[in-house]
Each structure stands twice: as C-alpha cells, then as structure tokens.
Amino acid sequence: QVQLVESGGGLVQAGGSLRLSCAASGTTSSLNDMGWYRQAPGKQRELVATIRSGGITTYADSVKGRFTISRDNAKNSVYLQMNSLKPEDTAVYYCNYYIKILGPGSGYWGQGTQVTVSS
C-alpha cells in the first residue's frame, strides 16, 4: 500500500505561481512513475504531467512551458511548479503513483489539493 499526501494548493491571481508537493509513504519505490492530474468542476479528470523513474517527463499541451514536474527520490516526493497560472488552471490537483505496465491513472491517488486562480 502507498499513501500520498498533497500540499501547496491555494488561491492565487492570474499570472502567479504555486508549487504543489506530494509525499509518498508506505511500500514505495523510486522505480515507480508518478504524475499529476487535475479535475475542474463539471469536467473529467485530466492528466497534467508525468515523470518516470529515470526522470523523463511529459506534459499536457495546455501546461507546456508553464508547469514543471520534478521528483526527489530520497524524499519519496514529487512536485509540480506552476507558473503563469490562468483561471482555467483552477481545479483540484491529484497526485498519482502509478503502476508502470498499466500506465498513468492506475495505482494510488492522493486526496487532492485545491488550486484556484482568480482573474
């Protein structure tokens, strides 16, 4: 079992920045891949970014150039630096510790952290 705890959400004005953190505990491994998803009211949960155990990253087109995902294996943590935030980035952000062969969206989820961007 893996437990994930997100933090760092909040209210920010458009153009501002936030840094989300996700700490994993339990039966974790630095060999697992991790990602961030978000879900806005009335919308489906969408993949924002992923980072593989070797450090390769992927991003949704909507956040490329503005968001950066990183990880610290020694701390069993993954981060999401969000810059140039827009009102459309408003959502609950979830950390995902996923199973390699099943891909993003599998595995374990955190409880989510709210990000609200005001115009």
Q: Looking at residue 85, what is its pLDDT?
A: 98
Q: What is the Cα–Cα distance from 32 to 52, expressed in whole angstroms? A: 7
Count CB-CB contacts under 10 A for residue 22.
25
Count CB-CB contacts under 10 A for residue 15.
11
Q: If you average pLDDT over every residue of the chain, what do you get? A: 94
Q: What is the Cα–Cα distance from 119 to 113, expressed in whole angstroms? A: 20
Report whether pLDDT(97) > 80: yes
* Coil/strand/helix, residue 96: strand
Report whether pLDDT(54) > 90: no
Q: Give, as one character, the DSSP assignment of residue 89.
A: G
Report whether pLDDT(16) > 90: yes
Closest CA to 36 of 118, 113, 117, 90: 113
Grade residue 89 by pLDDT with cuts at 50, 70 and 90.
Answer: very high
Provide mean pLDDT across the span 22-46: 90
Q: Looking at residue 27, what is its pLDDT?
A: 83
Report whether pLDDT(29) > 90: no
Q: What is the Cα–Cα distance from 9 to 41, expressed in whole angstroms? A: 16
Grade residue 53 by pLDDT with cuts at 50, 70 and 90.
Answer: confident
* Coil/strand/helix, residue 83: coil
